């Protein structure tokens, strides 16, 4: 369980094509029973609009880019992620980079998912 002070708004409403914000926070708690403390900065911006096609269908979306810089003692981490957000549905697709990625247009994702509906 990790708590953030202040909390991290990963999406702020109303979300528009020009939305952008930065949050500096302190993350504290336990990860697999080990104490975790880090200072984190999130730079979040809507950087694109369009349609995304996933197994659940086609959705008009805003693409939300998040750049995370984390410092935990002597260790640091830099990650980039994208969320494709559709009105009424929320996040319909997501891609997250590997640790210490520097290219905003990374081509290999460490995490990804997309909305799928079962019939």
Give the pLDDT confidence of 54-78 residue by residue, as tens digits. Answer: 999 999 999 999 999 999 989 999 9
Percent above pLDDT 90 for the chain: 94
Give the pLDDT confidence of 76-98 residue by residue, as tens digits. Answer: 999 999 999 999 999 999 999 99
Percent above pLDDT 70 for the chain: 99
Closest CA to 92 of 29, 50, 44, 34: 50
Bigger pLDDT: 117 vs 50? 50
Residues 25-32, mean pLDDT to the nearest whole number: 95
Quote the pTM value: 0.92
Is pLDDT of 119 > 80?
Answer: no
Q: Which residues lie below 8 Å from residue 93, measured CB to CB, with a gap of 6+?
A: 52, 54, 61, 83, 84, 112, 113, 114, 115
């Amino acid at each position: 369980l990790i708590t953030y002070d202040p909390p991290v708004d990963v999406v702020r409403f109303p979300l528009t094509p020009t939305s952008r914000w930065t949050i500096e926070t302190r993350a504290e708690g336990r990860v697999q029973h080990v104490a975790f403390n880090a200072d984190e900065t999130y730079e979040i911006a809507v950087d694109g609009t369009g349609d995304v096609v996933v197994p659940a269908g086609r959705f008009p979306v805003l693409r939300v880019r998040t750049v995370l810089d984390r410092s935990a003692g002597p260790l640091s981490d830099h990650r980039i992620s994208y969320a494709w957000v559709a009105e009424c549905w929320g996040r319909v697709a997501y891609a997250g980079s590997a640790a210490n990625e520097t290219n905003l247009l990374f081509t290999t994702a460490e995490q990804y998912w997309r909305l799928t509906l079962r019939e």
